Structures are given as C-alpha cells and as structure tokens.
C-alpha cells in the first residue's frame, strides 16, 4: 500500500491521527449498518419469495377461470360486464425509515364502503366462471399489495446494502491501511531526524572541546 504524499511534519502527523480515528469510527458504524440492513433484508426477502409464489399461484388460478369465462361468454358481453367498475382502490403511502433507506408502506382504501363490492355487472347476462375469476383475483389482491410493498423494499435495500458494503470495504482495505502506513512513515522520519540531531550535537561538542583544550577524548 502506497503511503500518502504528505510532508513528514508533526502537524501532518496530528492531522492524520485524527483522520484515522474518524475513519475507524466510520468503519465501525457502517459495518453495523450493513449487518443490520442485511438481517432485515434476509427476513424480507424470504417473505418476498413466499408471497410471490402464493400470488403467482393465485393469479394462475384466476387466469384459468378467466379463460373459461371467455370461452363461455362472447367477447362483447365480457367487455360490457367489466367496462364500468363499481369499486375503486386507493393507496395511502407512508414512508418508513429503515437504516436510512426509505421504504414504502401501503395502506389500501376502497371507494365504496363494502370492499367486497367487486361485481360490476348483473348476474343474469354473465357466466358463473367470470364470478369465480373475479373472486379469485379479489382474494389474492391483499397479498399482491403486500408483495408490491415488500418487493420494492427489497429492491431499495439491496441497492443500499451494496453501496454500504463498498464503503465498508473501501475504508477497511484502502483508507485505514493507508493512514496507518503514512503515520508510521512520518513518525519514523521524525525519530530519524531526532537521532541525527543528537549525533550532530555530539560531534559539534567534540570539535569544540578539541579546539578549547587541545585534547581528544
């Protein structure tokens, strides 16, 4: 590891020592952040996987029923049946701060008082399969909302973990060793200067004694 390009002075040494302390503290904090994020992320991603499997199964069932409905009913009457929905879904979005990652939290609101008011058509002109398809979708909908919430959270957290990990590694393997080595270099240089001053003084003393008393020790 290359040392930094600095003057070997006492002031630089003090500065560098202060920077090293900050770097070490930052490293520890970031490492804690990474570990905690990782713990929450793994919890969430497991739930994400389970939810996704359930949702995909549910949608597959609904799609099967829908295909049957499409066969039984004419395209036109199906269009008419689903053209004007009675229900409307809204989301209230809150933001939750997890280790400085803002993750969304969704809260579902329905336009009509009864959230099961999902059949936007009369029963006389439509087939029962359509009811089954709509019901299946409606059953899986709360899970789909939860899936949206959790998948987005996982995505954002994965990005943040990657960033944090890079920072931790940069501090651990680049910044801190570089500071340590530069500090070592400066203190060795200063020691060396001190020793050379001492020897010089001793030499000068010898020469002065020699001149004054004409003797060699």
Partner 1 sequence: MYKIAALGDKDSIYGFASLGVNIFPADGAAEGTKILRGLAEADYAVIYITEQLAAEMSAELERYASRPLPAIIPIPGVRGNTGLGLDNVSKFVEKAVGSDILS
- Whichever of 17 and 109 has its CB closer to partner 1, that residue is 109
∠ CA 85-87-89, rounded to 5°: 120
CA distance 126 to 124: 6
- H or E, element range at 169: helix 128-170
Q: How far is the CB of 16 from partner 1 (least distance, A)?
A: 33
Q: How far is the CB of 111 from partner 1 (least distance, A)?
A: 7
Structure token digits, residue 163: 């960033």
Tokens 């020699």 appear where?
Answer: 210
- Whichever of 80 and 190 has its CB closer to partner 1, that residue is 80
CA distance 165 to 167: 5
- Whichever of 39 and 200 has its CB closer to partner 1, that residue is 39
CA distance 126 to 130: 7
Please name which of 87, 91, 135, 93 lies closest in space to residue 113, comparing C-alpha atoms: 87
Q: How far is the CB of 26 from partner 1 (least distance, A)?
A: 21
Q: How far is the CB of 132 from partner 1 (least distance, A)?
A: 10
Residues in contact with partner 1 by CB under 8 A are 38, 41-42, 45-46, 48-49, 52-53, 55-56, 59-60, 62-63, 66-67, 70, 78, 82-83, 85-93, 95, 102-104, 106, 109-111, 118-121, 133-134, 137-138, 141, 144-145, 147-149, 151-152, 154-159, 161-162
- Whichever of 119 and 185 has its CB closer to partner 1, that residue is 119
């Amino acid at each position: 590891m290359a040392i930094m390009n600095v003057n070997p002075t006492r002031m630089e040494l003090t500065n560098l020592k202060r920077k090293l302390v900050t770097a070490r503290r930052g490293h520890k904090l970031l490492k804690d952040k990474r570990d905690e994020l990782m713990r929450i992320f793994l919890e969430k991603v497991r739930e994400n996987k389970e939810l996704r499997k359930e949702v995909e199964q549910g949608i597959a069932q609904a799609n099967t029923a829908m295909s049957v409905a499409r066969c039984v009913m004419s395209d036109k009457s199906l269009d008419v049946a689903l053209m004007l929905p009675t229900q409307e879904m809204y989301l209230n979005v809150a933001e939750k701060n997890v280790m400085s990652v803002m993750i969304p939290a969704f809260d579902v609101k329905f336009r009509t008082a009864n959230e099961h008011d999902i059949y936007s058509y009369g029963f006389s002109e439509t087939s029962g399969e359509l009811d089954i398809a709509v019901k299946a979708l409606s059953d899986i909908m709360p899970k789909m909302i939860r899936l949206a919430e959790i998948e987005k959270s996982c995505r954002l957290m994965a990005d943040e973990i990657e960033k944090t990990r890079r920072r931790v590694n940069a501090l651990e393997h680049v910044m801190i060793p570089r500071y340590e080595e530069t500090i070592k270099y400066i203190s060795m240089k200063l020691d060396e200067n001190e020793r050379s001053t001492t020897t010089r003084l001793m030499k000068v003393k010898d020469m002065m004694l020699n001149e004054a008393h004409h003797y060699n020790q």
